[in-house]
Amino acid sequence: MTKRVLLIISGGIAAYKSLELVRLLRKRGVAVRAVLTQSAEKFVTPLSLGVLTEDHVFGQLFDLKEEREIGHIQLSRQADLVVVAPATANILAKMANGIADDLATTLLLATDKPVLAVPAMNVRMWHHAATRRNIAQLQADGVHVMEPDSGEMACGEFGKGRMPEPEAIAAEVARLLALPLAADPLAGQPDFEGPDAPLAGRHVLVTAGPTHEPIDPVRYIANRSSGKQGFAIAAAAARAGARVTLVAGPVHLPTPAGVRRIDVETAREMLAAVEAALPADAAIMVAAVADWRTADAADQKLKKDGSGKPAPLALVENPDILAKLGKHAKRPALLVGFAAETQKIAEHAQAKLTRKGADWIVANDVSGDVMGGDTNSVHIVSGDGIESWDNLPKDAVATRLMQKVADTLSARLD
Ligand code: C5P
């Protein structure tokens, strides 16, 4: 049966991206009916939406003709999913407080269907305490809230708040509507052997990228991790049908389609985000977490005094996220760590497996240019022994690893 989406467009500059979203959803066979708030009409026209949706576009609450033909309560319930994209700080605030002062917000209050909100706003508005409160309230109310992207904003500022790309929103809609997977446009053939979505119904948690540990307001300790392998793993897990949470250190990589991304800076923030994301069926810890942080990050920029004395830097150990998960009350059924080694790869990985309480350690040889490069040569070390794979593109490593995760989870959990 045709799935139906009620798309509410509120007034943000990102509204233009919603036209592309409609096109992508229609291509997947989803029927879309659009509602524009009054300010949205300043950014996109009812005409272009009408053409793309091949349906009437709704706008005013007290339009007598509309109300006679289809009442607003009915309108809010005929869809399988209500999507608010872009969701401005204003409409999110109204939703969180049950305010219904136009057609869009009235429908949101009257609906009995799942709601997906796709926030888009200026970085300061996104981080404002009021928005934080509203998002937390909406999530507690069961609204699915997509994480905005980071990057340059229409207003010239840089940061978090950009509306995710239409492909990512369409993938999230497809997941919530349980649509069959779209073929991966890059592969040209199915990624996975057996069922198309071998990780359907599973929650996969992935960490990726480096962490930054502040020294003072302008300096930090970092490493050369690019995040590419972890992002490829999150993308492959989503293509395999999993619900994916990606906890990412500071990297400039686009969020893979269908992935919920949580950006963090430090190891301690990464640990908190990982614990908050539990329970998960599988956790793949790919991040290159800094082993040490400064004992006390300075509030002011440190100054050299010209005496030639060593820098006043004391380092303390960071929590080991993987080891903590290994002993966690909510330990995932499958726990996978990565290990970057330059020598005695298998031996070191074996020791790490035991020390951290992981099921597998994916050991990679970083003596070449793996960090930042596009290929990886890995050895999977587990209680059963070692499996060595050829040097493969990071995408292929990710797909193969997710196939192995899916097979293992179905053997353990089904
Ligand atoms: O001990 P080592 O850093 O080599 O271990 C690597 C593995 O442990 C990776 O999976 C990495 O994500 C994880 N790790 C962690 N927290 C740390 C250090 C490493 O989760 N503080």
Catalytic residue among 154, 155, 187, 218: 155
- Of 80, 297, 61, nearest in space to 173 by CA: 80
> Is any ligand 1 atom within 6 A of the Cβ of residue 322?
yes
Q: Are 3 and 149 in contact (CB under 8 A)?
A: no
Q: What is the mean pLDDT of the chain?
A: 90
> Is any ligand 1 atom within 6 A of the Cβ of residue 318?
yes
Residue nearest to atom 2 of ligand 1 (CA): 339
Ligand 1 atom at minimal distance to the Cα of residue 340: 4
> Is any ligand 1 atom within 6 A of the Cβ of residue 121?
no
pLDDT, position 65? 59
Model pTM?
0.61
> Is any ligand 1 atom within 6 A of the Cβ of residue 58?
no
Q: Are 160 and 123 in contact (CB under 8 A)?
A: yes
> Is any ligand 1 atom within 6 A of the Cβ of residue 267?
yes
Q: Are 37 and 108 in contact (CB under 8 A)?
A: no
Q: Which of 233, 322, 338, 345 to mutate to test the pocket of ligand 1 (most atoms within 8 A of CB)?
A: 322
Q: What is the residue-level pLDDT of the chain in tens, covering all 414 positions? A: 789 999 999 999 999 999 999 999 999 899 999 999 999 999 999 999 999 999 999 987 666 556 655 677 888 889 999 999 999 999 999 999 999 999 999 999 999 999 999 999 999 999 999 999 999 999 999 999 999 998 777 777 788 899 999 999 998 998 899 876 554 443 344 577 777 789 999 999 999 999 999 999 999 999 989 999 999 999 999 999 999 999 999 998 889 988 999 999 999 999 999 999 999 999 999 999 999 999 988 888 888 889 988 888 899 999 999 999 999 999 999 999 999 887 888 888 999 999 999 999 999 877 766 566 778 889 999 998 999 998 888 899 999 999 999 999 999 888
Give tens-digit pLDDT for 254-307: 899 889 999 999 999 999 999 999 999 999 999 999 999 999 888 888 888 899
Residue nearest to atom 6 of ligand 1 (CA): 339
Token duo for residue 137 = 């309230």
Distances in whole angstroms, Cα of residue 361 to Cα of each of 103, 275, 377: 53, 20, 13
Ligand 1 atom at minimal distance to the Cα of residue 317: 21
3-class DSSP assignment, residue 275: helix
3-class DSSP assignment, residue 284: strand
> Is any ligand 1 atom within 6 A of the Cβ of residue 138?
no
> Is any ligand 1 atom within 6 A of the Cβ of residue 321?
yes
155 annotated active-site: yes
Query: What does the angle CA 30 – CA 31 – CA 36 come to, to the nearest 5 degrees?
Result: 120
Give tens-digit pLDDT for 215-233: 999 999 999 899 999 999 9
Please tell me the distance from the alpha carbon of residue 64 to that of residue 41, in angstroms, as a whole number.
Answer: 20
**C-alpha dihedral (124, 151, 114, 334), degrees to nearest 10:** -120
Q: How far is the CA of 200 from the centre of ligand 1 (A)?
A: 28
Q: Are 323 and 356 in contact (CB under 8 A)?
A: yes
Q: Which helix (H) or strand (E) holds 160?
A: strand 158-162
Using CA of residue 135, residue 139, residue 142, residue 147, what is the dihedral sign?
A: positive
**Hey, what domains does the chain have and what are their CATH numbers?**
4-176 (3.40.50.1950), 203-413 (3.40.50.10300)
Please tell me the distance from the alpha carbon of residue 297 to that of residue 58, in angstroms, as a whole number.
Answer: 53
Q: How far is the CA of 357 from the centre of ligand 1 (A)?
A: 12
